[in-house]
Amino acid sequence: MITRINIIRGKHLLLLAMALTGGSLAKAQRLFTVSELKKDFSVVKAALKEAHAGIYRYSDKVDIENHFVSMEKGINRPMTEQAFFRYLNPFIATIKDGHTKFHREGRPDDLFAFAKTGYFPLKLYFYGNKAYVRSDTVNGRISAGAEITSINGRPVKVVRDLIFKNIFVDGKGNTMKYALINDSFGGYYATFIETSKLFKVGYVDNGQAKTISIAGVSSQNIGHIEDLVAPYQLSFLGERIALMRISVFQPGPAAVGFDKFLSESFQAIRNAQISTLLLDLRNNEGGIDAYGIMLYSYLTDISFNYYDRFTVAGPAEYSFSRYAKLPPELEHLKRFIKKVDGEYQFSQKVGLGPQQPNPLNFNGKLIILINGRSFSVTSEFASIAKDNRRAVFIGEDTGGAAGGNTSGAFALVTLPNTKLGLDIPLLGYHMHLKDYSQADFGVKADYQIVPSIKDIMEKNDPVMQKALALSK
């Protein structure tokens, strides 16, 4: 059976394993000929059309096909590797699939792959059309909380929109785009706009408009904000309230596996006669899909459906296979692919058909905390809980679409000339829903709460505060 590759299944988990391998920064940025670039584009086109199980899922097929034509026509001049990357990336992002990856060779999810220096040094927090200084740890010349209005002459809204065009997310929501740009603005700015020795920054501080020039920094001086938390935790808050935090759907330490954590936790919840459970899934970017099913089985007392079906692009006869590393079990699994009602479906997968509740299931009040980095497996779980009206949701809409995603196994394609990597998800996950009206968007929060820059600076958690208020 196909199981999702752990380091790829989550949005950015692969970076931890591979950021320091392959794709040397010292690689010469030579110009590739039009012929070489067109060859690479032909491989991109073939890989997306023949293998991607969701290429037309969240975007109009005619628009995508027209893009293929216009993109090929636009390859009319030599380009460097990075220029070609910047040319193709926004087009691939229009597919609206958060699991697809396009990157420098051997460096998926690495926003520091093309340069060593010239990174924007301030950590920013984007809120709507505005951006604020989160911290200035390098220069110390702009106060935290100041509003940034422009960077090198570009209004901050223009900067945001340029980066948003390049971020791969599921479906039609923007919450994950905000989450990722807030996490790693310097890397996104350098990768998709520019690096610079000096940045001219317009900002407003205490009501006064000012301009300042600040030096760019090296990749060692900038990075994304890490969440250094345990994979899963349970605590009791008094008044028969429990808080369960699951930061990733991945195996934990050997002594505390996920299944053991759930069985021990829900036994403790039952022993303590808990009436309200707060389930914090914020920043949980996914992992193993069976863990989402397992978790929901502890939160219902009736049988339930989880996945509706799994789809693939076709019978897995790929013209681009000489340029790709394919799952070794693919040949064996072809026999489980059948054409049903005009689409190719894959039947050998856990999660199809009725699922049974766990005997230790919790039937009390359930409040789930979500945000833009609640993605992949987390969005799947949230989608089922929402569709079954099992919980109250607080925070921001999930980054993953309610209807499902495309992930599972991957075709890892290396373009023949530029050597850019294109990772194609092969399996379409379709959730079993009664209401598909919002399937293209993230799972909706019942109480929409986005932390302000003041909350960020003062380390307030208005989402948790609201959850605690509702629990009482």
Per-residue pLDDT of 267-309, as tens digits, reads 999 999 999 999 999 999 999 999 999 999 999 999 999 999 9
Structure tokens at 311: 């789809």
DSSP symbol at 356: P
CATH number for region 123-221: 2.30.42.10
147-151 vs 154-155, strand pairing mode: antiparallel
CA gap 175, 12 in Å, rounded: 16
Chain centroid to CA 181 = 12
Residue 334's pLDDT is what?
A: 87
Domains in the chain: boundaries: 1-111+311-349+407-429, 123-221, 232-306+351-402+438-471
Mark 448-470 as b/e (b = at least 16 C-beta within 10 Å): ebbbebebbeeeeebbbebbbee
Mark 123-146 as b/e (b = at least 16 C-beta within 10 Å): bbbbbeebbbbbbbebeeebebbb
Q: Looking at the predicted structure, is the pLDDT value of residue 101 above 90?
A: yes
| Runs of H (alpha helix) within 283-342 | 289-297, 330-333
Domain 232-306+351-402+438-471 fold: 2-enoyl-CoA Hydratase; Chain A, domain 1 (3.90.226)
Do 232-306+351-402+438-471 and 123-221 have the same topology in CATH? no
Residue 17: pLDDT band (50, 70, 90) is: very low
- Please state, for a pLDDT cut of 90, what percent of the chain lies above it: 83
Q: Looking at the predicted structure, is the pLDDT value of residue 223 above 80?
A: no
Which candidate, 267, 277, 269, 351, places its Cα nearest to that of 307?
A: 351
Task: Work out the burial of residue 314: count CB atoms within 10 Å of its CB; fewer than 13 is exposed, 13-18 middle, 19 or more buried.
Answer: middle
CA gap 249, 174 in Å, rounded: 23
3-state secondary structure of 209: strand
**Residue pair 433/308 in contact by the 8 Å Cβ criterion:** yes
DSSP-assigned beta bridge partners for residue 352: 307
Per-residue pLDDT of 143-196, as tens digits, reads 899 999 999 999 999 999 999 999 999 999 999 999 999 999 999 999 999 999
DSSP-assigned beta bridge partners for residue 447: 394
| Sign of the torsion angle spanned by Cα atoms 290, 296, 297, 302 | negative
Please give the model's pTM, rounded to 2 decimal places: 0.91
Residue 3's pLDDT is what?
A: 34
Residue 7's pLDDT is what?
A: 34
| Sign of the torsion angle spanned by Cα atoms 351, 352, 357, 358 | negative
